[in-house]
Structure 1
Amino acid sequence: MHASRRFIAIPILLVVVASVAGALYLVQQTGGNENGPLRASGTVEAVEVIVSSELGGQLAEVLVQEGETVKAGDPLFRLDDELLQVQRRQALAALENARAGNASAQAGLELAQANLDIARASLDAADASAQAELEAAQQALDELYKNADLARAEALAAVAAAVNTLRDANYQLDNFTVPSNQSKMTALEAIEVMGTALDRARARFEPYKYTASTNATRQDLKEALDEAQADYDAAVRRLELEAAVEQSSARLQKAQADLKAVENGPDPDEVARLEKRIAALQASVGPARASVEQANASLAQAQARLDQSLAMLLQAQSELDLIEVQLNKLTAYAPVAGVVLARNIEPGEVIQPGASAIVLGQLDHLTITVYIPEDRYGRIRLGMPASVKVDSFPAKAFEAHVVRIADQAEFTPRNVQTEEGRRTTVFAVELEVDDPQSALRPGMPADVEFSG
């Protein structure tokens, strides 16, 4: 166990020493003069685009080399197509069979439609020959029922009217209040008695008819006359209501008798004769109608076969389309313009879908990342201009500007407190380089001098 700890501690110590040494080197590279130009060194970098194959298979050929410049759409590599070509020929044969089946089903549908048209023509002819007689017989039967229905409807209406009239008469009679002095009399008896009393009261009042209305005797006789008149009117009203009830009851009985006479409908023998004739005429077109139904069933079957053949045709076409798409994807093309940074494949190898095959660097967006010590960090600002020089073009300076400043230090721990330790703490600064002539290449060492 102790030996293992010593074995692990040695690499860790080496990493720490290397980090400190690297930081001191970068500090030296940025220049020790705090008031002089701020310089740093880095490496030209580009946006990397990893190109993979959507399909797996054996590589037939690789068409580019590392460092080669390619345009968007240039072929990069191609997979072997032998297996897919065999599948394509099979799919083409299946498609031809499906087309033949679809054509046969279409012909069957057209034949079934022709048979249906013939059957319908036969039915129309049979129906036309029987239609005139059928209409006459049906009209005669309708007239029988129509007259019977009318008579029954009128009788029903009469019964309903009589019921309503009787109900109203009974209601008025039931709600009529018979004076107490007439309760033990019939209506006729009450009219006779109340009439006599009215005559007697009228005779008594006659001598005082023209006497002053303030006369007490006149007032008493007038009151007695009014009371006798009211009793007589009540007796007359009672008789009227009782007579109305008797009349309404008689009308109801007559209406019910009339309804009974017509409620059985038309003559049953005549109805049976006409119905038998109509049935015979309708049956005469039965065979022709059966032929039409059979032709319709055959047409439906033919349509189902056509639909099935069309589905098979579409499936065969889809399978062929899928193989065509796969064949097109056997060749990988450059998605963007750039330079080949890495070629991870060789002809004859078998690659898996999604595996990194070619790495492209986009030359239209080059960057350089440099490291600035903590004591010079405050002089850097976003957008700050700088000039870049590379060994390949020593007389040419490329323009650049700061696009990112790291917010965390690197190489040394964050809790360094001494002034000397803080001077070895560095910050990453990324610059974007202008290279309109595409002279620079990813991986070139570069020196950066900041302006301002």
Structure 2
Amino acid sequence: MKRFIPLFAFLMVLTGSCSLFQKAEKNVYVSGRIEGDEIDVGTKVPGRVTKIFVDEGDNVKKGETLAILDSKAVLARVEQAKAAFEAAQKAAQAKEQEVNAYKERLAALIDKRNSLKSQLDFQLKIAREKESMANKDVALAEEALKKAKAVYEKAEADYERFKKLYEKKIIPRSEFDKAVMAFKVAKADFESGKENLLKAKKAVKIAKAGVEIVKSKYSDIASLDNEIDALKATVKAKEKEYLAFLDRVNQAKAVVDEAEAHLSDTVIKAPVNGTITVKYVNVGEVIPAGFRLFSIVNMDKLYLKGFIPEKKVGLIHLKQPAYVEVDAYPGKKFPAYVSYIAQKAEFTPKEVQTKEERVKEVFGVKLKLKSNPDHVLKPGMPADGYIEIGK
């Protein structure tokens, strides 16, 4: 009986050892703590904390208001900036109206110049047509005078010849009277032709004078062109002034935006969904810019952070299935997977208890939990992880 008991005990120990060996062969063991990526919520502006809406352990949603800082001074800066912005806008509007008034004057002056140019061009065309017609009348008058002169000279010669014949009683009185009458008519036509030529030449002078008068009026267009050029320069200068006023408006708007941004910064909001893990301030405290007010952890994105021996790093890979166990919930397995494997070995961290373990080289790993039902797992909990080999 005494021999049977030690033998039975030996078999039980051996069976347990085989079970542990089989578990070790199926999994890579990781020991560590539950952690989460902690996000600090700070302030961009200094001020006194007037309200706090959350406490440690509260779940918050992205955009939810966590605290409010005193905003009286910032509000005053916003109102001051808005007043300056409105003044800059009014000044720019007045300058714009001034620019538009100058542009309207310029447009009217250009219309006047173009209208005058059209009128003078038309008048010059008519004057030149009159001059051309007058020159043609001179040519016609000269041709008519030439013919009248020839008729007159022939009539005069006939008159002298018939006069002598009549005096010698060679021709009758009636034929001489015809010669006299023909001479008088030819003389009258010749005199009339000379008068018509004089009138035609006078008309040419008048027509040429008309052309010169119209041409002289083109100096008015030159004067208007000079006035237009000067006004264009003024408009350009006024437009440059207007752009400077717009720059002031934009600068004033930037000051408003900055002041309003500072005002919005007095309302502290959650940047992500998560749980308040640490509250660093209380109502009434005066805090500087950049001060940390809260820490938030997303309780749905926790992971086990631990280390594995160097000789076992070749057994694991990213996305490899795993599960996590914690002392607070014995027997419960929380599904996970390998989300991180360090690229460089390090000595076991100092928090490991024995000196012998601290001199070993290990690789840091993270086992990301697939879920955290009811947020039962908390950052800081000691935990054991098992990475399933061959999966």
Tell me by how many angstroms 1:89 deviates.
0.8
Distance in 2 separating the partners of 1:86 and 1:101: 23
Write the letter of the residue equivalent to 1:325: A
How many residue pairs align between the two structures? Answer: 285
- Alignment match, 2:89: 99
Task: Decide which of 291, 311, 328 is 2:247's aligned counterpart.
Answer: 311
Contact 2:124 2:211 in 1 (8 A): no
Tell me by how many angstroms 1:320 deviates.
1.4
- Alignment match, 2:65: 75
Q: Identity, % of aligned pairs?
A: 22
- TM superposition score normalised by structure 1: 0.50
Task: Decide which of 258, 264, 286 is 1:349's aligned counterpart.
Answer: 286
> 3-state SS of the aligned residue for 1:89?
helix
> 3-state SS of the aligned residue for 1:367?
strand
Q: 1:329-386 CA distances to partner (integer Å, 9 max, x unpaired)?
A: 3333222222222233344232233x544222222222223456789x5896446655
Distance in 2 separating the partners of 1:314 and 1:333: 29
Distance in 1 separating the partners of 2:112 and 2:357: 108
Distance in 1 separating the partners of 2:282 and 2:215: 90
5+ residue gaps in structure 2? 1-16, 132-208
Distance in 2 separating the partners of 1:304 and 1:109: 10
Task: Decide which of 378, 382, 385 is 1:445's aligned counterpart.
Answer: 382
Write the letter of the residue equivalent to 2:278: A
Distance in 2 separating the partners of 1:73 and 1:135: 80
- Alignment match, 2:345: 408
> 3-state SS of the aligned residue for 1:363?
strand
Contact 1:37 1:450 in 2 (8 A): no
Task: Decide which of 361, 371, 376 is 1:435's aligned counterpart.
Answer: 371
Distance in 2 separating the partners of 1:424 and 1:308: 70
Tell me by how many angstroms 1:442 deviates.
0.8
Q: 1:163-192 CA distances to partner (integer Å, 9 max, x unpaired)?
A: xxxxxxxxxxxxxxxxxxxxxxxxxxxxxx
Q: 1:381-411 CA distances to partner (integer Å, 9 max, x unpaired)?
A: 4466554333443463323344556663634
- Alignment match, 1:362: 298
> 3-state SS of the aligned residue for 2:345?
strand
- C-alpha distance 359-120 of structure 1, shift in aligned 2 (>3 A): same
Q: RMSD value over aligned CA atoms?
A: 4.4
Distance in 2 separating the partners of 1:325 and 1:424: 52
> 3-state SS of the aligned residue for 2:379?
coil
- Alignment match, 1:283: 219
Write the letter of the residue equivalent to 2:274: G
- C-alpha distance 292-444 of structure 1, shift in aligned 2 (>3 A): same
Distance in 1 separating the partners of 2:254 and 2:304: 50
- TM superposition score normalised by structure 2: 0.57
Residue pairs, 1:410-429, within 5 angstroms: 410-411=347-348, 425=360, 427=362, 428-429=364-365
- C-alpha distance 449-411 of structure 1, shift in aligned 2 (>3 A): closer
- C-alpha distance 411-444 of structure 1, shift in aligned 2 (>3 A): closer
Distance in 1 separating the partners of 2:74 and 2:111: 55
Tell me by how many angstroms 1:95 deviates.
2.0
Distance in 2 separating the partners of 1:412 and 1:303: 71
Tell me by how many angstroms 1:92 deviates.
1.4
Write the letter of the residue equivalent to 1:92: K
- Alignment match, 2:326: 390
- Alignment match, 1:131: 121
- Alignment match, 2:37: 47
- Alignment match, 1:257: none
Distance in 2 separating the partners of 1:125 and 1:424: 101
Aligned: 1:322 with 2:222: no
